[in-house]
Each structure stands twice: as C-alpha cells, then as structure tokens.
Chain A
C-alpha cells in the first residue's frame, strides 16, 4: 500500500505532472488547462475532457517569460509563461483563466497573443459575495458552459453533468476524510505529503484519483507520518503553492503542517456542490456557480473578514498553534491583505508569521531560519 501511496503522491512532481494529461490526449480526448481554482471543472468533465490545473516550471529563472512580463510581476504567472514558451503546454486544447487578479488576466492576454493554444476563454469573477455578484458569476458560468460545448462540438447532457458533479463531490469527500485524519495528534501524512496528494488531484482524471485514493484510506488510518516532530501544529496560508518541497522545508524546522489555507489544498475541495436528483441543467449550473463563487476565498476576493473567520475556524478545528503565511513574491492581493490578516488573527490570540517566498524553491536557508524562529517561539 505504501508503494501505491507514493505512486499517487509522485504525480505532483514536475517530471510527472503531465503524465495523465498526455495519456488522455493519446486516447484521443481533449485536455483543458486551468489557471485558477474558480473554474467549474465538472462542466469540462461532463463534456468528456480532462480539466488539468496549470502549474508552472519549478526551475529557477524565467528568461523567456521575462521578455513579456517584467520580473516584478506575479511569479506564478512568470513561471507558467516560461513553461508555455518552452513548449510544455503544447498538448493543451484550450486554456481557461478567470479575472481573479489582473496579473492573471495579463498572463492570459499574452497567452492569447502568442497563439500557442487553439482555444482560450476567460471567466469574469466578481469579487464580493453580494447577491448581484453571485448572479453575475452564474451568467459567466453559463457562458463557460457554452464555450466548452463548442469546444467539444456537442451538447452536454443533464445526465452527464449530474454524474460529473457527483464524481467531483465524491473526490471532495475522500479528501475531507484524509483531512479529518490531520486532526489527530499524530496524523498519518505530513503536510508536504498532503500537498502532494491534493496537487495530484488537480492533475488527474477524477475517477482515477478516486479509485486510487479510496483503497488507501484504511491504510492511512494506521500509517504514521515520517516526521520526527508533530508539535507545534501549523496552518500554512498561501496561493499558488504547488511545490510540496516548500512544506518539507517548513516541517524540517521541527513542526507539523496540520492544516492549510491554499488554493491547491483545502480551498480547492472544501465545499461540495449541492444538487438534488431532479435538478435541471439550469439548476445544476446555478449550483455550480454558487459552489465555486462561495468556496473559501482567495485574498483576491474582497471578503477579507470571511477569509479570516474561515482560517480561525480551521485553527480551532485542527488544534493549530500558529499560522504561517507564505505569500508569493509580488502577489499583490495577498500582500495588501497581509496587515489586516495578521491584525485580525492576532486579535483572536492566534500567532501569525509571514515570510515571502519565490515560486520555485529558493532561499531555503533563510526561510528555515525565519520559520525556525517562529516555531521555537510557539514551542
């Protein structure tokens, strides 16, 4: 079973992350690259295509991308563009972004300009949780549905969408069961292993992911994580953190990452799509819109108070001693929220530390020193 687990986790590695997508293509099916966690993947799946989260190269340096994007812009976008320009996404049939933040929109603009992918779409994402914003997002989801239908050249049936919603909910349920195990004093998986698992789920066909994870759950009930220290327990907060090695660095300072607030982790799967068996296609699209717009929010959304409440709730539920924020350099939405985030959590008696990071693994020594000091303080 350990081999099966490691095999699943290994799919998050840079040299393996496109494996399933390439196999999918080989079987004559389409792959849709996604640049954001606010894109309803179920629609793509219902059309018989693979939704595949786009992760940038973890190599240092982005010389090709630097031609189009100044280096002081979102590093995730720069590394993704580097991968695009080196041909790593040539297999994609389409790429979809949202207006999550303007750096991402500009990446999408350059992508469109370069003409390297046959079809592109962008979803406008209203940034508050007002009824007007939710209603507008539902319209955007319908437009996206039409885009995917056109891409596939056929109608998506209500039955297919219903099945896809159920499959994705099942995967979310499985990940919730894994996360429940994190509440234990000694969880079966380290934080970096969990991140490898959730990142793998972004890259795999969901039926294959469910088939791989479900039989592992009884084994995980008994497994012990490889860490030497399971205390203090940290919650790591960030965006675009898709390299498990980063969490390994954190845990090497003598702590356990027992929960996360990541778009590549808990935020990706936390909410399910609520539908009933008799739901019309229209109602299912609305339910999807609601689910995606209402997910635990990224700092790009202007719902800062709710974001802090969510983190505080996780801190209580997972018995967390400190919150470690790892903002991506030049990620302006998170950086601008940072003082608010720190003040509000501190007011609730939750210790917070924030250390900027590169997209690729870099400045390990410096990070370890800083995180180590925070961990020592918590001990």
Chain B
C-alpha cells in the first residue's frame, strides 16, 4: 500500500472516530476538513492510477493550478503528514540529496522516489515561500524528467513586482498548455475560485480575531493546523462550509465564555513549525499554557488580520486581473521577502494575540526562518518585554531531538514565563 492509500484509510478512520466519540476539546468542524482531505487524496490517487487528469504541484498557486484543470499535489503538506520519516531520510541519503535540508522539502522528494506519492506531470518551481522549496521542486522535476517552469517571487508588494510575477504566471500557463495535453487556463473558473478564496479569507480573519480571545478558544492542535486555501481541494466551495463552521464554533464558545483549558495561566505563540512526530502541546496544556496560533509565512498577510484581502481594490488602487490576484498572493509570504517583514509580522501577531512569550522553532535547514530567530527574540524582548524560546529541532526526524528533550526545554521555558508573571 502506498502512503497515499494509507492516508486515505487514515482519513476514513479519523472521520469514523469523530462520528463515534468526538473529542470535546477539538473543533467539530474538523469533520468537514477530513471529508475534504479525503476527497483530495482520492482525486490524487485516481489521477495517479488512471491518468484521467494531469497533475501539478499546487503549493501555492493553487487557484491557477485548479483553474487549469490540474489535480493539485500538495507535496509539502503531504510530507508534513508522514509524521516520522526515517525511511524517507534513508532514501534521500542513498540518492545523494542533503539530509540536513528542511524536512518537508526533501521528504516529499523521497515519497515520490519511493512511489508513495505521485510525481507531478509538470513542475512550477518557485521561491514564493522559500528557496528550499524552489530547489526541491526543481530537483523533483529533474529527477522525474518532467517539464519545469521557474517562477521568481520574493520581492514583496509593488506594481513592479506584481507585473513581474503576473508576466511569469502568463508564461507558465502557455508553457503548461504546450507541454501537458488537456491543460487549458479557464479564466471563468479562476474568477469563481478567487471569489471563494476571498470569502474564505474573510472567515479566516474573523477566526483570527477570535484567536485573541482570553481565555483561548482553540485547543493547541487546532490552533497549530495550517489553514489551506479552498482551491487546494477538488471542490473549493466546500471549504467555505468548513471555515464558516469553524468560525461559528469559536463564536459560540466566546459567547459562552468557554476556554479550552480549565485555568489559562500563560499564552504562547508557536512560531515557524514544530515536531510532527509527537504532540508537544500536551505538556503545555498540563501547565495551563494555551497556544492560540501558529505564526508562519502566510499567516499575517494572507490569513491575518491587518492586511489586504483578495479582490480588494485598495492595495493597488485598482481592480486586479485574476492572474494579478494570484500574483498578489504569491508576493504575500513574509518568509520569501527580506527579514524585517517577518520580524514585524511576528511581533504584530504577538500583540494581537496577547501572548506572554514565543516558542520559535528553529527548523534545521529552514533557509527562510532559522537565521531570523535571534532578531525576533531580541525585538520581542525589547519592544514587548516577552521572552522567546529558540528551540532547535526537526519536523520529521526524532533522532535529532527526542520527545523527552523537547518537553524538558518547553517545561523550563514555561517556568521562566510563569516566574516572570509572578505565578511561581
């Protein structure tokens, strides 16, 4: 059985479990999420097995990939879901790739090599989140001898950079139409998807406002989940039901004053990523620590509170074309640009979420965030008076740091934060 087939079975089990005995601390809306995840995995498997539809890597031009008729392959997101990836690291080493690169960017490559996950029919190699993803996409394309289109982002928001990325997206559509039979850019479909994305983004903003509620309304596991754009899924419109249900549940909890912890002593912002091979939040919850959000590259500018929305006309002073809208999104990741944006956004998230400290996960091989942790920590102390734990680790490799070591670090940091608040 391939990983993809196992993931389908896992999603079915998750759904059955939610039906049979729901965990009261977790969102009921997760049922809708797992249904969409199941649909996505089934569509990927069918495209892989039957070649009924072409496949392209979907991170992060998902609206365009969807509007071109591709089945999107969430290479990075799928790697995250392997949780513990020892066998994939062995493949990486055997093939001569670096095992010290960011886990998700190399594990997805190994998953394709191991025939656990389909390689894309065409690759959009880009640096709109980080350079490691760019080189990973490129390596996947070259390994499987697939057409690769290189797209450059990372310039932030300006008319010039918007034009530059839009031009490249236009070139990509022509490239893909020429290289992959059956692919065609459908602008009407694109417009329809963007309207859905815009609504989803509005829900996310409302959800993010609710994240600042004291006491915290989300379990750390729900808070930690990376939101995905609706266009990741075969039926984007279904995602609106999920986001709406998520918002409504949080609103209901806020109205009733129900927090997820019996007594909330501390609020911590978790930053970048975390270990996926165990649940680091159990030890925090036991100490009365809530985690209202995960701060990552897309969070503040795309899913965040204070920045522009899809389809607005304010940012550029005009209505954008559908491809420009996609370009705007690709220029919005605060990891891809110069570091001061990430520092500013992270501090802003701390303010909005009223946190007492940060756990900044220094992911080995993360070219985007690892070199900025110290600056974030210094500025958080200087501007907000809050401490930061710079916690080195890996997402999918327990050999680098064990669960016990991670928990020990977290416990010590909680002691420090509680002591600062005069609670111990």
Residue numbers of A with Cβ under 8 A of B are 67-70, 72-73, 77, 99, 101-103, 105-110, 112-113, 122, 124, 126-128, 130, 132-133, 136, 139, 300, 302, 304, 330, 332-333, 335-340, 342, 354
Contact = CB atoms under 8 A, between A and B. Distances in A.
B338 A122 contact: yes
Interface string B150-183: 1010110000100010011001000000000000
B138 A73 contact: no
Contacts of A122: 338
Given A69-B370, A109-B339, A336-B101, 9 more contacts: A70-B364, A73-B371, A107-B371, A110-B371, A133-B152, A302-B125, A332-B98, A332-B131, A354-B96
A147 B181 CA distance: 47
B365 A72 contact: yes
Contacts of A132: 164, 167-168, 171
Interface of B: 95-98, 100-101, 125, 127, 130-132, 134-136, 138-139, 142-143, 148, 150, 152, 154-155, 160, 164, 167-168, 171, 338-340, 362, 364-365, 367-368, 370-375, 392
5 contacts: A70-B364, A70-B392, A102-B130, A304-B138, A338-B97
A112 B371 CA distance: 13
Contacts of B131: 101-103, 300, 332-333
Given A335-B97, A339-B95, A342-B96, A106 B372 contact: yes
Contacts of A105: 338-339
B333 to A, nearest CB: 12
Given A107-B371, A127-B150, A302-B150, A332 B132 contact: yes
Contacts of A106: 339, 367-368, 370-372
B18 to A, nearest CB: 39
A222 B168 CA distance: 53
B125 A68 contact: no
A136 B164 contact: yes
Nearest to A342: B96
B368 A336 contact: no
Contacts of A130: 150, 168, 171
A336 B136 contact: yes
A136 B142 contact: no
Nearest to B369: A106
B375 A302 contact: no
B340 A73 contact: no
B367 A73 contact: yes
A90 B193 CA distance: 53
Given A68-B374, A333-B135, A336-B139, A139 B160 contact: yes
Contact of B372 (A67, A77, A109, A354): A109
Nearest to A129: B150
Contacts of A128: 150, 152
A72 B375 CA distance: 17
A333 B132 CA distance: 8
What 7 A-B pairs come out closest when comparing CB atoms? Answer: A109-B339, A106-B371, A102-B367, A335-B98, A102-B131, A128-B150, A336-B135
B172 to A, nearest CB: 11
Contacts of A101: 131, 367
Given A132-B168, A139-B160, A340-B142, A68 B97 contact: no
Contact of A70 (B152, B168, B371): B371
Nearest to A133: B152
A122 B374 CA distance: 21
B370 A70 contact: yes
A70 B134 CA distance: 21
A124 B131 CA distance: 13
Given A113-B375, A302-B125, A332-B101, A339 B338 contact: no
Given A105-B339, A332-B98, A337 B371 contact: no
Contacts of A107: 371
Contacts of B143: 339-340
A69 B100 CA distance: 15
A263 B230 CA distance: 44
Contact of A337 (B135, B164, B167, B375): B135
Q: Of residues B142, B152, B340, B374, which shows the largest number of chain A Cβ atoms within 10 Å of its Cβ?
A: B152
Given A68-B375, A127-B127, A128-B150, A336 B168 contact: no
B367 to A, nearest CB: 4
A68 B154 CA distance: 22
By CB atoms of chain B within 10 A, which of A110, A127, A128, A304 has the most? A127
A99 B154 contact: yes
B234 to A, nearest CB: 30
A336 B171 contact: no
Contacts of B135: 332-333, 336-337
Nearest to B371: A106
Contacts of B154: 99, 124
B371 A304 contact: no
B146 to A, nearest CB: 13
A108 B367 CA distance: 13
B375 A109 contact: yes
